[in-house]
Amino acid sequence: ADSASEVEGMELVRRADVAMYHAKRVVRDEAAFVRYVPELDESEARRADLARDLPSSLHDGTIYLNYQPIVFVGAGEQIVGLEALVRWNHPHHGRISPEELIQLAEEVGNRDELYSFIVHRAARDAAELIAEHPDDGLFMTVNASPAELRSPATVDSVAAALAAAGLPAESLFIEISERLVDPDEEAIVATMDALADLGVKLLLDDFGQGQTSLSFLHQLPVTGIKLDRQLVLNSAESDTERIVVESIVGLSARLELTVIAEGVETQHHLETIMRTGCRIVQGYHFHPPLHLSKIATLLRHQSRPVAAPSGGPVPAAAPAAVLSRPA
């Protein structure tokens, strides 16, 4: 291995450059101190490959969507919704996380194209599933990053996707991460308003990670919240935490906000979250994100919702009623 003192001229400049880009992009702090190590070259080469292949991956099937069922637990368990989650299976670099893909698309200028691809695909698949199961009250959710929410193209993409699929706007939900969104940022709130005007519903994702208080929520055009999986985990571990979540769920109900619990991995998680009053859940305990064909099979084998025995402790309200919020 060479020491820095043996490296000269262009190579020294090149290495400084590599370290600087790494600081800007990976550490995301231009003032960060990053020392050059040879692994950085590898990470730059990988990134260059991914940046080069991103556009064609939108057309060759290596970027695609999985859908994770969202389950209403009443008298029985019924799939009422699906969350679209993007996947990239790169031929050489393997699985690329959605977060890395979204960030890369933003950096290399494919943000709008990627978003349009995702929302069109999700809307088309939702319309197909709803046509097959018109009485299930199914909805589709699509995530949107802050950068996607800042883009003027986003609302147009959503409107075009709904029209192309023939999907009613109220069947589409957009998830916006509480962790990432600044509710004071005008461009983001304007997009949220424009989406709500289309008739699309908005969910605040990862609720509990950020600073948004429930009392502030009614100022945003949101239909509901998704409890972050950490809240689910914490409430399964501690009674105090569970009581906090119980109050979030109770207050949400009074504010007519839908609550969906994420990251329900075990029967114990489910029981805890049911005790808080939450009835709509998502997590590995039920189903992981799945290919469309698996979802179609699950829905075909799902029995119709049954009415709860009268006086039973569990509300058997039709999911559509649970999810709709008076305009």
175 contributes a contact to Mg ion by CB under 5 A: yes
Q: Which of 123, 54, 119, 132 is nearest to 93 (CA)?
A: 54
Question: Whose Cβ is closer to ligand C2E: residue 145's or residue 252's?
Answer: 145
CB of 115 to ligand C2E, least distance (A): 7
205 contributes a contact to ligand C2E by CB under 6 A: yes
Residue from 57, 68, 116, 235 that binds ligand C2E (CB under 6 A)?
Answer: 68
Instruction: Please enumerate in sequence order all residues whose Cβ is within 8 A of that of 204, keeping only pairs 6 or more positions apart, or say none.
Output: 175, 176, 177, 178, 181, 212, 217, 220, 222, 224, 225, 226
224-263 residues in contact with Mg ion (CB under 5 A) are 262
Residue 65, token pair as written in the block: 């969507």
Question: Whose Cβ is closer to ligand C2E: residue 81's or residue 263's?
Answer: 263
Site track 219-258 with ligand C2E (rule: CB under 6 A), x = hit: ----------x-----------------------------
Question: Whose Cβ is closer to ligand C2E: residue 145's or residue 191's?
Answer: 145
161-200 residues in contact with ligand C2E (CB under 6 A) are 175, 177
Q: Which of 265, 228, 263 is nearest to 248 (CA)?
A: 228
- Specify the stretch interacting with ligand C2E by CB under 6 A; choose among 95-103, 291-299, 301-309, 313-321: 95-103
Residue from 77, 113, 241, 265 that binds ligand C2E (CB under 6 A)?
Answer: 265
118 contributes a contact to ligand C2E by CB under 6 A: yes
Site track 106-145 with Mg ion (rule: CB under 5 A), x = hit: -------------------------------------x--
Residue from 57, 78, 145, 252 that binds ligand C2E (CB under 6 A)?
Answer: 145
Residue from 58, 79, 85, 248 that binds ligand C2E (CB under 6 A)?
Answer: 85
Residue from 78, 143, 191, 272 that binds ligand C2E (CB under 6 A)?
Answer: 143
98 contributes a contact to ligand C2E by CB under 6 A: yes
Give the Cα separation of 105 and 72 in Å (integer).
34
Residue from 156, 284, 291, 307 that binds ligand C2E (CB under 6 A)?
Answer: 284
205 contributes a contact to Mg ion by CB under 5 A: yes
Q: How many residues bind ligand C2E (CB under 6 A)?
A: 25
CB of 119 to ligand C2E, least distance (A): 9
Q: State the SS3 of the chain.
A: CCCHHHCCHHHHHHHHHHHHHHHHHCCCCCCCCCCCCCHHHHHHHHHHHHHHHHHHHCCCCCEEEEEEEEEEEECEEEEEEEEEEEEEEECCCEEECHHHHHHHHHHHCCHHHHHHHHHHHHHHHHHHHHHHCCCCCCEEEEEECHHHHHCCHHHHHHHHHHHHHCCCHHHEEEEEECCCCCCCCHHHHHHHHHHHHHCCEEEEEEECCCCCCHHHHCCCCCCEEEECHHHHHHHHHCHHHHHHHHHHHHHHHHCCCEEEECCCCCHHHHHHHHHCCCCEECCCCCCCCECHHHHHHHHHHCCCCCCCCCCCCCCCCCHHHHHCCCC
Residues at the site binding Mg ion, with contacts judged by CB under 5 A: 143, 175, 205-206, 262
Residues at the site binding ligand C2E, with contacts judged by CB under 6 A: 68, 84-86, 97-99, 102, 118, 143-145, 148, 175, 177, 205-206, 229, 262-265, 283-284, 289
